[in-house]
Amino acid sequence: MTTLVSGIVLGSLYALMASGLSLIWTTLGVFNFAHGALMMIGAFVAWTVSEPLGLGLWPGLMAGIGSAALLGIIIEFLLVRPFYGRSNMLLITVMTTLAAMIILEKSAQIIWGARLKQLPRLVEGDVSVFGAVVSAHEALIVLLAPLILLALWAFTTKTATGRSLRAVGQNQDAAALLGINVPLTFALAFGLGAALAGLTGVLLGGIRFITPSLGAEPLVKAMIVVIFGGLGSLGATVGAAFVIGLAEAFLVLVLGLYWTPFMLFLGLIVVLIFRPNGLFGRA
């Protein structure tokens, strides 16, 4: 039961992070390789506001999310927007967002140093779930994740602004003819995706130590989730996040940490052989 609960916690974190990555891909058609670094920046900013500045964890949470969103918009404006419309845009944005990742990680090392840091938990204490004891912080993550993802789904499907994201993702020229501000929509998608990364960083910072490389491993897992589930679908991404989270928890229990990444990548390859559009993607 402990392994099952651990898998659900992992799946919740992966769903939050991968949904931001999927939103950017769906709208712009690019992978943001700086997504993990934005997650790390969100955690460091939240730590700075809540600990050295002494303003408390909840102001730190808002500052972490806001700083990640702002940086996401800046990355889109400076490193992605200049290359819209080019035939090799996908390759160029891979390189520019990778450069952004390295710049953010090195900047974090200069600003915050190499000493390990950790955020206080949003709620203290432990809770028992079907006999398995987990921290109240992890239980809160499991409760928060579906609410946040439900709000994201409602925003993208029930509001005019959210529907503009989907329209731009389907056909930019047609969306522009309908009066949608395409560049502003791109910036909104990047900002929302980065905000989700910042939120994930703050939540993860209460479980793991915060370092400049905090986002590297979650970024790889988020990319596995997005490809495994099927590109372009929030529901597929969320479903795949929990499949990967549960699989990782059980693989760590059975095979250990060393073989788990290998088995996850092997599973991804097998799925793509038989279902090239992803496990939940449409053929």
> Please, are residues 221 and 240 in contact by the beta-carbon 8 Å criterion?
no
DSSP 43-100: HHHHHHHHTTS---HHHHHHHHHHHHHHHHHHHIIIIIGGGTT-TTHHHHHHHHHHHH
- The residue assigned the tokens 């050295």 is 52
| pLDDT on residue 77 | 92
Q: How far apart are CA 182 and CA 204, in angstroms?
A: 33
Give the span between the Cα atoms of 263 and 6, in whole angstroms: 18
Q: What is the pLDDT of residue 4?
A: 77
Which DSSP state fits 171? Answer: -
| Predicted pLDDT at 72 | 94
pLDDT tens per residue across all 283 residues of the chain:
777 777 788 888 888 888 888 888 888 888 889 999 999 999 999 999 998 898 888 899 999 999 999 999 999 999 988 888 787 888 898 899 999 999 999 999 999 987 888 888 888 888 877 777 788 888 888 888 889 989 988 998 889 888 888 888 888 888 888 888 888 999 999 999 999 999 999 998 888 899 998 888 888 888 888 887 777 677 788 888 888 888 888 888 888 878 888 888 888 888 888 887 777 766 5
pLDDT value at position 85? 79
Name residues whose C-beta falls within 8 Å of residue 279's C-beta, 6 or more positions apart in sequence.
228, 229, 230, 236, 239, 240, 243, 271
pLDDT at 283: 58
Contact call for residues 116 and 51 (beta carbons, < 8 A): no
- Spell out the long-range contacts of 54-62 with Cβ–Cβ below 8 A and sequence spacing 24 or more: 57/119, 57/120, 57/122, 60/119, 60/202, 61/122, 61/199, 61/202
